[in-house]
Chain A
Amino acid sequence: MGDNFQNKTMAPVMMDYEFKIKTQNERSKVEDLFDFEGCKVGRGTYGHVYKGRRKDGSDTKDYALKQIEGTGLSMSACREIALLRELKHPNVINLIRVFLSHTDRKVWLLFDYAEHDLWHIIKFHRAAKANKKSVMVPKGMVKSLLYQILDGIHYLHSNWVLHRDLKPANILVMGEGPERGRVKIADMGFARLFNAPLKPLADLDPVVVTFWYRAPELLLGARHYTKAIDIWAIGCIFAELLTSEPIFHCRQEDIKTSNPYHHDQLDRIFNVMGFPLEKDWEDIRKMPEHATLVKDFKRSNYQNCSLSKYMDRHKIKPDSKAFSLLQRLLLMDPNRRITSEQAMQDPYFSEDPLPTQDVFAGCPIPYPKREFLTDDDQDDKSDSKARQNQQQQPNDRRQNEQTMRLMTQQNQVQANSHDHAANNAKRMRMSGPNQGNNNQGGGQQEFHQQQQMMYGQQQSANQQQQNFQQRF
């Protein structure tokens, strides 16, 4: 008699008791290893991110702990884990470990902690612009940022991984420490293998990329994600770094539909870029929403629009190398858009100042540290106060010569009027385990920073040389 299941109604023992106990004992719990209570620093659609430290003090580094939204292994959690487990590149966020909490069925991902991200950095510059203040950053910072973003994306693309959700909030930058000023591309939850699409990808998650960074072909109903779509988003981020304004900023109220076609967003793109000529984008006629496009838009409304005029208004000269690269990244026709590899070969990167591995090139980092979030704080005032306390304005003259204003003050747009919707979580400062390490204010820190600056400049010269050697 088979002792498989003796009884039709009673489930057999699914798991061996000894095995279960043994695995339970070997399993470590995230809350046993890390202190992170009250230290939430990020909230996204797919999770909550905490800043944590090891409890046993075996190192004093900061870590980021991402608790994935919901319970169990969603498909995006699976993909994030599967991909990050394989990916290893200095400009791609490093997944250190996964914790599975069996009792509440929560999934936790442990990453290196990145103190900054481009969303906060750009927001800081925009606020400074509104207050007619300048922010001192190294001349080559935007170039270094872009170079490292391209490097990371080139790695992903050559491994047949698409990011698909590139936007400033997902580009992290490391703070003080051994990887100071290094870009880390994050939030691969939507990254997919794309070498053999199984289903038209648009079917799986109808609305994915934030519309401002969405390539025109997606807005016209393209069925498949491509490398070119990531490149468009990088072009948008580059423009935003140069001007501190989201280049294709568009009202967000309407962005709820699962229909890829989005009239206002296309209108915004044409207002900046001009309406595409047939000869510039031959296949536009093959786009699923081409008929709608023809019906809704009149070329003559965009007669006077061009990227060069837009950028010129933002003080980026059409004959600059930066502009010429931007134009190649933001080509409307996805087939003509350059690849990450081509972009990295662009003359912009061999022109002085050369990109540095530390995007801050050893200079003091003017941006505040991440603040802790609360769920119930409804009052945004605490936000701006905390920020004011943390702003450090370097005002040394010599420093001025070494640095350049990222922001031009002439172009005052109503700063802060268009914060990215996904990231306006309420913030306030709270004490946490890392409190002692936060801004202490006072002269000591400034002194410390001065030293760092001197050292930093030497270092950056070395680094540039290194860069040079590496690339030629």
Chain B
Amino acid sequence: MAGNFWQSSHHQQWMLDKQDLIRDRQHDLSKLTDEEYQKIFNFFASIIQVLGEQLKLRQQVIATATVYFKRFYARNSLKCIDPLLLAPTCVFLASKVEEFGVISNSRLITTCQTVIKNKFSYAYGQQEFPYRTNHILECEFYLLENLDCCLIVYQPYRPLLLFVQDIGQDDQLSTYAWRVVNDSLRTDVSLLYPPYQIAIGALHIACVMLGKENLKPWFAELNVDMDKIQEIVRAIINLYEMWKNYDEKKEIQALLGKMPKPSPAPQR
């Protein structure tokens, strides 16, 4: 579906308004600070990333899974569905939509188990990944409903490559900017801005990091709303600032403890 972002469900239904986003998070933000909330998302984005890598998915698929995850919690509290279940469900759904080929149920569960055990023991200790295929399948229906069946997600990667081509192929620049786009998945920008703007924001940051002054005229000639680009840049830079003084390995257990959790059916 390249080529008509403007008619897409992504543009028409899933370009959210910052104020709405803040309002819809009120429940969670009464229990968590903004920063804690972001750290929790950062953590689950890592789980999605590592799961995707273990399953040998392309970055595009991983990014789509991450956006599904963010879209679900943009409309729902963290307590509605355990994010540890929703994260692999997003990966599962995205891999089908992006036609990677079907990941078998058992392979998905096994991968979750090994990933949680080997890579995230700092968060879950000795606890095993607690869900089975039937949980994922049930969760998948809820996810699809909450996404309102909007499954095609436009990502900044393709516009990024086109911009880099336009600038004149520069491998270092494109590698840096690509990584910045990956990092942008840890922020809200994918819910708030069109992917081509995120690509420009990422290029901008990469240029600054690489000290490429000579690209200023290129940016100046772009016909885009530079205020929006600045907002994107700020959101990503804020993430980098946060990372500087943050040790996930030390803090995440406490954060997960504080996180709002699903309540069971009332006992009769």
Contacts and interface: CB of A to CB of B under 8 A. Distances in A.
B44 to A, nearest CB: 13
A19 B80 contact: yes
Contacts of A203: 101
Given A12-B82, A85-B149, A199-B101, A17 B3 contact: no
Interface string B209-229: 000000000000000000000
A159 interface: yes
B137 A75 contact: no
Nearest to B86: A14
Given A23-B142, A78-B151, A83 B1 contact: yes
A4 B97 contact: no
Contacts of A8: 126-128
B101 A204 contact: yes
Given A73-B96, A73-B144, A81 B82 contact: no
A75 B98 CA distance: 9
A11 B135 contact: yes
B97 A198 contact: no
Nearest to A16: B262
Contact of B150 (A11, A75, A85): A85
A12 B150 CA distance: 29
Contact of B149 (A1, A81, A159, A193): A81
Contacts of A263: none
A316 B99 CA distance: 42
Contacts of A204: 99, 101
Contact of B93 (A10, A78, A85): A78
Given A2-B253, A160-B1, A82 B152 contact: yes
Contact of B130 (A3, A11, A161): A11
A14 B265 contact: no
A17 B99 contact: no
Contacts of B124: 4-5
Instruction: Identify which of A1, A74, A81 gathers the most chain B CB atoms within 10 Å of its CB.
Output: A81
Contacts of B240: none
Contacts of B254: 2
A378 B166 CA distance: 64
Contacts of B98: 193, 198
A27 interface: yes
A78 B149 CA distance: 9
A15 B82 contact: yes
A78 B96 contact: yes
B58 interface: yes
Contacts of A11: 130-132, 135
A86 B2 contact: no
A88 interface: yes
B156 to A, nearest CB: 14
Contact of B263 (A13, A158, A192): A13
Interface in B66-123: 76-77, 79-82, 84-85, 93, 96-102
B7 interface: yes
Contacts of B253: 2
Nearest to B136: A14
Interface in A85-101: 85-86, 88, 98, 100
A3 B149 contact: no
Contacts of A17: 262-266
B8 interface: yes
Contacts of A105: 137, 141
A160 B144 contact: no
B226 to A, nearest CB: 29
A8 to B, nearest CB: 6
A17 B1 CA distance: 37
Nearest to B259: A4
Nearest to A18: B263
Nearest to B79: A16
Given A105-B137, A192-B99, A81 B1 contact: no
B168 interface: no
Closest 7 CB pairs of A and B: A82-B151, A16-B262, A19-B80, A78-B96, A13-B262, A11-B130, A17-B265
14 contacts: A2-B257, A4-B256, A12-B261, A78-B96, A81-B151, A82-B152, A85-B150, A85-B151, A86-B7, A98-B144, A100-B144, A102-B138, A160-B3, A204-B99
